[in-house]
Structure 1
Amino acid sequence: MTLLRRLALGLLTSTALATGALAQAGGTITVYTSQPSDQMAAVVEAFNKDHPEITVEVFRTGTTELMSKLQAEFAAGSSPADVMLIADAVAMTQLKNDGRLYAYDNAPLAGIPAAVVDPDHTFFGTKLITTGIVYNTTLVKQAPTSWADLEKPEIAAQTIMPSPLYSGAAVIHVGTMVQQPEFGWPYYETLAKNGAVAGQGNGTVLEAVARGEKAYGIIIEYMAMNAKAKGSPVDFVFPKEGVSSITQPVAILKDSDNIEAAKVFVDWELGRAAQEQSAAQGYFPILEGVAQPAGYPDPASLKILSADPAKMLAADKETKETFSDLFGG
């Protein structure tokens, strides 16, 4: 059963925020994140209303660049990061396998589906994000309905996508698509041959489509849906073949010099206040009883493309190299 279907069937219980971290925790923590800067500013503001005793410093960039920075810091001896909040469970798994994450066994998991929780409690999903198709409503008269539509030469030539060399969500999406028998690398080869291009992150895709520089894009749903709600000439399609999904996990770095304050941040991210804020920012919430954003489909109506994270991790370098060969970067 998919995670979204679990949510739709109401198999989750209501969450009561646990007290896994010390109430007296304070000081400063540094959060490395791929979440958009404006959203993170709102997250920090909301967190500090509940926990003014903790100062949160944020470093934000695309997941791939973030991981490169972190690995360079590890090689130099240490990183200032205390918490990771990134849209890439594969990257989190790599950090776990490298022994970089703290096992938070007392994290408040009541009401959190097991499907988004690392079995060793080193990282925890905080929201649901799917990838589909955005299109410019002034340029496109007939909306696409499937991933296969993008292969058509006249559509591919007007299509832009995020690059896994920059975006963690793109890593998951490309990794998922190449595991599908009906797509695989031949799908991306066709897109490249017919003129599709890659930008950097999802933001570059949205900008290009909203401005009319491209008519179609591959993008995470909340960016397109938020832009549409604000009056941008875009709309979003959940392709009929299915969508890839990510959960934006949060984790504490094992070498953090403020573990207790980091626990408070994780507790808050898994609690109702953060879940309601996530829904307000355009994400599918993971807790029962938190209303999903207006205009979003019933999660039960979505088909989630299955993918093996272990295979995705093992193929990560090859995936990025192959994508780069096709689209540059």
Structure 2
Amino acid sequence: MSHTTPLSESSLSRRKALGFGLLGAASLTAVLTGCSTGSDTPAASAGAADFPSYYPADYSAIVDASKAEGGKLTIYSNTDQENWAPILRDFKAKYPWTQVSADNLDSDEVFQRQLSEMATGKAPADMLVSNAVQAWANYASDPSRLMAYDSPETKELPKNAVLMPNVWAMSLDPVGILYNTALLKDEPASIEALAKTVSADSATFKNKITTRDVKGAWGFTVSHAFTEGNSDAWTGLDEILPAARPETSSGTQKEKIMSGEYVAGFFISSAVGYPAQDASGGLVKFVLPTDGTVVLGRGIGITPKAPHPATAKLFLDFVLSETGQNAVAEGGLSSYRESVELTEGRHTYQEVEKVAGKDGIIQVPYEVVPDADVTSFVSKWDAQLGA
């Protein structure tokens, strides 16, 4: 099975097959149709001239097919509405006849629901979006579960934007530390620094640190990735985990850090961390650990029998395009095209490279960790957690 190639050979040895598929959860559905800004050329007359020169001459046929489909699109994802909003807004501005609905599901539930519906012969989803690595790897290990498509944007992207055959990265999101600035005086620039702060006053920090539950797919992937990418990882984790309590979502962690129930949380998705920092007025801050920053590709692919295949292709190409990647950054996710403008409130993979260093990035390939390794890691992690 092929997987993404890290950007530097020196970091290649640190990247191992990571991921985990476990739990489903109740879903929260958000229908996101977006609003046209009218800023782009109306796609009602879109032809070859409306697209970059590297697009095929007959690309307008996909546009015409999308109109014939009615422009509807259903996405199963684990991505929040605030992350989607600029993407859907700009997509609708370019293709005003489209209507996109994105169900906000648990990371693993994206695939569980799709597989269940495929078994009945009635699968309404056109696209899948998730950063649950093993769930994606398990699902896409059967090539028939994805539509084969040669996006014209692929050759314009860095190699690590292709996660698996017919699975692209919508974003490359780092995982970091979110802390309450009113409760923690010194910024924890690394996991090691947070560990020293906690161990210096273990009574004060007891149950005041949060991390992700490693029995869930996302929590396992990022936690295991850090220990694989940093040979000294357990030195700090041995000091932090006795003071920590697990949560099942970054959103829950964010709310409890902002309320003061937790002082800080580690291994929190930047998709939650960056927007929380921007909206908090300085109450919370999100930092990338200098002793190893895990980066997860947020995979996007088209289902094999998508009810609206032409619109799905338009959406995929848009998300990977320069315009789409700017919208990705605006929504709080980390885009990766070099041309994306890095301004206040926007974040990119190149920014992560500058902060963490290329060798400090632990990039997770879309491969499966053997069950025995999963069981061993979860047992060791949970044995360290505080009561």
TM-score between both structures, scaled by the size of structure 2: 0.71
CA distance in 2, matches of 1:132, 1:77: 41
Query: Which residue number in structure 2 is paired with residue 57 of structure 1?
Result: 101
Task: Report how far residue 274 of structure 1 moved.
Answer: 1.3
Instruction: Report deviation, 1:322.
Output: 4.0
Inter-partner Cα distance in structure 1 for 2:343 and 2:221: 23
Q: What 5-or-longer segments of structure 1 have no aligned partner? A: 6-14
The 3-state SS of whatever aligns with 1:143 is: coil
**Equivalent-residue separation in structure 1 for 2:130 and 2:159 (angstroms):** 19
Report the counterpart of residue 310 of structure 1 in structure 2: 367
Please say if residues 180 and 260 of structure 2, whose CA atoms lie closer than 8 Å, have aligned partners that are also in contact: yes
CA-CA distance at 1:237 after TM superposition? 2.0
What is the CA distance between 1:162 and its match in structure 2? Answer: 2.8
Q: Which piece of structure 1 moves more, 220-229 or 210-219?
A: 220-229
In the superposition, relative to structure 1, how do residues 145 and 320 fare at CA in structure 2: closer, same or farther (>3 Å)? same
State how far apart, in whole Å, the 1-side matches of 2:311 and 2:373 are: 32
Contact 2:87 2:331 in 1 (8 A): no
More deviation, 276-285/317-326: 317-326
Aligned in 2, Cα 1:300/1:41: closer, same or farther, shift over 3 Å?
A: closer
Counterpart residue number, 1:210: 258
- 1:117 corresponds in structure 2 to 162
- Per-residue deviation, 1:50: 1.2
CA distance change for structure 1 residues 236 and 200 in 2, over 3 Å: closer, same or farther?
same
Paired amino acid for 1:299 = E
Shifted more, 31-40 versus 71-80: the winner is: 71-80
Among 80, 92, 108, the alignment partner of 1:36 is 80
Verify the 8 A CA contact 1:17 1:272 in the aligned structure 2: no
Structure 2: where are the runs of 5+ without partners?
A: 10-51
- The offset of 1:222, in angstroms, is 4.3
Q: Could you say which residue in structure 2 is the equivalent of 1:11?
A: none
- The CA distance in 2 between the partners of 1:204 and 1:159, in whole Å, is 13
Say if 2:190 is the partner of 1:146: yes
* Alpha-carbon contact 1:125-1:249 (below 8 Å) kept: yes
Equivalent residues in 2 for 1:127-206 (5 A)?
Answer: 127-151=171-195, 152-153=198-199, 154=202, 155=205, 157-165=207-215, 168=218, 170-180=219-229, 182=231, 191-192=240-241, 194-206=242-254
Equivalent residue for 1:299?
A: 353
| Worse overlay, 213-222 or 299-308 | 299-308
Distance 1:198 1:65, change over 3 A: farther
Deviation at 1:284, TM superposition (A): 2.9
Q: CA separation in 2, counterparts of 1:68 and 1:266?
A: 22
Cα 1:207–1:217, aligned 2, differ >3 Å: closer, same or farther?
A: same
- Distance across 2 between alignment mates of 1:123 and 1:315: 27
- The one-letter code sitting in structure 2 at the alignment partner of 1:197 is R
CA distance in 2, matches of 1:316, 1:31: 32
Equivalents in 2 of 1:280, 1:135: separation in Å?
23
1:106 to partner: Cα distance: 3.8
Contact 1:159–1:214 (CA under 8 A) maintained in structure 2: yes
Equivalent of 1:282, from 320, 332, 343?
332
Aligned length: 316
Separation (CA, whole Å) in 2 of partners of 1:18 and 1:202: 38
Please tell me whether the aligned partners of residues 167 and 202 of structure 1 are also in contact (alpha carbons under 8 angstroms).
no
Separation in 1, partners of 2:380, 2:366:
18
Moved more, 38-47 or 271-280: 38-47
CA distance in 2 between partners of 1:186 and 1:263 (Å): 47
Query: How far did 1:262 drift?
Result: 1.1
Please say if residues 210 and 264 of structure 2, whose CA atoms lie closer than 8 Å, have aligned partners that are also in contact: yes
Would you say the 8 A contact 2:163–2:299 is kept in 1?
A: no
Q: 2:62 aligns with which of 14, 22, 28?
A: 22
Cα offset, 1:79, TM superposition: 2.3
Question: Once the 2 structures are TM-superposed, how far is the Cα of residue 234 of structure 1 from its aligned partner?
Answer: 0.7
Aligned counterparts of 2:370 and 2:174: Cα–Cα separation in 1: 19
- 2:114 and 2:381 mapped to 1: Cα distance? 22
**How far did residue 93 of structure 1 move?**
2.2
Contact 2:134–2:368, Cα closer than 8 Å, also in 1: no
Residues 281 and 202 from structure 1, CA distance in 2 versus in 1: closer, same or farther, beyond 3 angstroms? same
1-structure distance, mates of 2:372, 2:339: 38
Question: d(CA) in 1 for partners of 2:88 and 2:107?
Answer: 19
Give the alignment partner of residue 223 of structure 1, picking from 272, 279, 285. 272
Secondary structure of the residue aligned to 1:93 is: helix
CA deviation map 1:21-54 (0-9, x unaligned): 7121133221011111233244323211111233
CA contact (8 A) 1:162 1:198 kept: yes
Q: Which has the higher mean CA deviation after the structures are superposed, 97-106 or 175-184?
A: 175-184
* 1:237 equivalenced with 2:287 (yes/no): yes
Residues 40 and 119 of structure 1: is their aligned pair in 2 closer, same or farther, counting only changes over 3 Å? closer
Q: Distance in 1 between matches of 2:107 and 2:91?
A: 22
Q: Percent identity?
A: 22
How far apart, CA to CA, are the structure 2 residues paired with 1:316 and 1:292?
39
Amino acid at match of 1:52: P
CA distance in 2, matches of 1:16, 1:318: 50
Q: Which residue of 1 aligns with 2:308?
A: 258
Q: CA deviation at 1:204?
A: 0.9
